[in-house]
Structure 1
Amino acid sequence: MTGGSTHEIRPLRFGVVAPITTDMPAWRDQLRGLADSGFSTVLMPDVPQWQPAPGPALAVAATITGLRVGTWVYASPVRPAWITAWEAHSLSVLTEGRFEMGIGTGRPGIADQLRELGLPLPPEGQRWSQVRDVVAALRELDGPDRHTPVAMAVRGPKAQALAAELADTVTFVMPQIETRAATVQRVESFDNRRGAELALHVPVVGDSVAAFMAGPDTDPAAVRAADSLAFLPSDPAAAAEEIQRRREEIGFSYFVFGADAAGALAPVVAELAGR
């Protein structure tokens, strides 16, 4: 059960966080490889000064393949709400409906980042008000004939309540050594009566930790030992079995990996995507 209704068994889909960390020809080749492997969505983090801005990067990515593109995820305090909504709506128009807006209140360390940028740090409650303002402005810009999907990265009760009201996709921000049982309890307490898609952010695959998805001090052995859902084995057969278990037992149907793990998991994606 998930928050007031039995979870829907959705077809599986797979996204990849693929920041531009190489030269452009290598990145373009990487995106084409993802498309050939059956991934559904190319995702871009929102980390100022680490790589190109997500909007232009995703606009370019959408011209390279026919995949969906999305932010994973916009940090609400970094820019005014209307500017975020305008960029998201523009990406939805320019990609002819292939854009998904992921949004949250920022990565761990967002306070330091905002200080470096000379921006104020609003209290967490205000940050979620900013998220609401972004979605409201996006819906106004979309108008009656367009619906840009919104994915929310949530942690506490206020965030979950907003996602239950507004999100098309929900991913749960959790400590990387949180146990399976604790994560299951978190998901089961979520009020999903609207039937939002449940997404799982998986930064650790085998001994590899995805860039931009986890901190540099992440210990894969500790994540694995905790039986954390932030971990998947790199063996394709074992990963496929575990992904199906997480869908059937918990309701996750959208799995997001780092680009470095895409090669190891390509056989899993080819087997399971759309099933």
Structure 2
Amino acid sequence: MDHLERLDGDRHTPVMLAAGGPRSLALAAARADIVSLAKSAVAPREEVVRLARELRELAGPRADDIELAMNLFAAGTRELPPWTKQAAGVTPEELEASGSLMLLRGTPQEMADELQRRRDEFGASYISVNATYLEDLAPVIEKLAGR
């Protein structure tokens, strides 16, 4: 469904919320069109899957209308920037070692496969990335076009 058109035909601006705790998940389930699952940068994949499941359960009949977003600190194979320590609260090395979902690493095909896995596993369909990595992500977008 086009986010600008509700089921009743009224047009509206899509609402995106970041949610990670019980109150914000409940609010997002009730009101958001797009939800960015917000947890620790080193949260295990299983935790993100659990949050997505909980959000959908809370949303009830709205569940299929909610899209999930993920913020990426980095994409590709380049070294992580020093600001990741301030943004994530952990060093770039800790972020890499944790297998953080805030990283999208590998070749363009590996990154495309991982994004598809995230979509299949817990429904992530929106991503955002720091402008520093736009060129690293461009070939990934080409591979995913139409999928």
TM-score scaled by length of structure 1:
0.44
Aligned partner (choices 164, 168, 171) of residue 33 of structure 2: 168
Larger radius of gyration: 1
Aligned partner (choices 235, 245, 251) of residue 117 of structure 2: 245
Identify the residue that residue 149 of structure 1 maps to in structure 2: 14
> Which stretches of structure 1, 4 residues or more, deviate above 3 A after TM superposition?
209-212
Q: Secondary structure at the match of 2:87?
A: coil
Give the AA of the match of 2:122.
Answer: I
Give the AA of the match of 1:258.
Answer: N
Does structure 1 residue 186 correspond to structure 2 residue 51?
yes
Superposition deviation, residue 149 in structure 1: 0.5
Contact 1:209 1:218 in 2 (8 A): no
What CA distance in whole angstroms lies between the structure 1 residues aligned with 2:145 and 2:93?
A: 28
Tell me how large the CA RMSD over aligned residues is: 2.5
Superposition deviation, residue 146 in structure 1: 2.6
Identify the residue that residue 204 of structure 1 maps to in structure 2: 74
Identical aligned residues as a percent: 35
Contact 1:202 1:255 in 2 (8 A): yes
Superposition deviation, residue 192 in structure 1: 3.6
Unmatched segments (≥5 aa) in structure 2: none
Unmatched segments (≥5 aa) in structure 1: 1-9, 11-96, 98-143
What CA distance in whole angstroms lies between the structure 2 residues aligned with 1:249 and 1:243?
A: 10
What CA distance in whole angstroms lies between the structure 2 residues aligned with 1:175 and 1:238?
A: 24
TM-score scaled by length of structure 2:
0.78
Structure with more of its chain in helix, by fraction? 2
Contact 2:41 2:88 in 1 (8 A): no
Identify the residue that residue 272 of structure 1 maps to in structure 2: 144
Identify the residue that residue 230 of structure 1 maps to in structure 2: 102
Aligned residues between the structures: 133
